[in-house]
Amino acid sequence: MAKKSPVNKRTPSITDEQLAELRGLLPHVFSEGKIDFEKLHAALGDFGDERPERYSFSWAGKRDALKILQTPSRATLVPARKESVDFDKTQNLFIEGDNLEALKLLYKPYFGQVKMIYIDPPYNTGNDFVYPDNFADPLDTYLKLTGQKDSDGNLLTSNAETSGRYHSAWLSMMYPRLFLARQLLQDDGVIFVSIDDNEVHDLRLLMNEIFGEENFIDNII
């Protein structure tokens, strides 16, 4: 009888993998297990910038968005055989659930293998998506947003245009999803995003940061 192996219930840490790759390329920029950023800047040929200002793209909550991205998922994909057609032979897969959790689960097995991604995110017209004020646990947030959990202790707010974080909340929602989508694409893969005039400029800046502005191809109207 074959020996059973335990299943890892956590997705890989993206941060740990990226640090391991950096350590392999530039081991001398690490000191006591941490990055020495002065050494890293020097290794990259950046010996200091005396200019008082430089271009950057940021928003309120960007740090929270990074925390969401770096939080490993404890979710599991469960096959729905009764709802499926020819489950054992089909080459198609339909996943129902929170797309951020799904992307984290697909990150390892589909890294660099996807030819094309098309997404149709909320256009941020004021009431087309609800965001959590507490970003600490994305899975818990999903369960509450979908009515699978009560909202005790977690205030949920529609993204009204009068909100002081109107664009920021949308950007924080989009950032980790686009970042993970980038990891799934092949080197010559493409991503299409439907959007309207409300957030098209913020989306372009966000995608420039994640995908590189040199990889932009075209706007299609």
Q: List the chain domain ranges.
A: 12-47, 57-83+93-215
The predicted structure's pLDDT at residue 136 = 47
pLDDT band at 155 (very low <50, low <70, confident <90, very high): very low
* Residue 119 confidence (pLDDT) above 70: yes
Q: Cα–Cα distance between 137 and 120 in angstroms, integer?
A: 24
When comparing pLDDT for 197 and 47, which is higher? 197
Q: Rounded to whole angstroms, what are the CA distances from 61 to 165, 168, 198? A: 9, 7, 19
The predicted structure's pLDDT at residue 56 = 84
Q: Rounded to whole angstroms, what are the CA distances from 88 to 39, 62, 76, 113, 218? A: 52, 42, 19, 22, 39
* Residue 158 confidence (pLDDT) above 60: no
Least trusted range by pLDDT, from 14-18, 76-80, 95-99, 132-136: 132-136
Extended strands (E) in 95-210: 114-119, 130-132, 156-158, 185-193
The predicted structure's pLDDT at residue 33 = 77
The predicted structure's pLDDT at residue 146 = 43
The predicted structure's pLDDT at residue 162 = 58
Kindly report the number of other CB atoms within 10 A of residue 14's CB atom. 19
Least trusted range by pLDDT, from 63-77, 81-95, 99-113, 185-199: 63-77
Residue type, 108: K
Least trusted range by pLDDT, from 16-30, 104-118, 124-138, 182-196: 124-138
Q: Cα–Cα distance between 143 and 141 in angstroms, integer?
A: 5
The predicted structure's pLDDT at residue 121 = 92
* Residue 91 confidence (pLDDT) above 60: yes
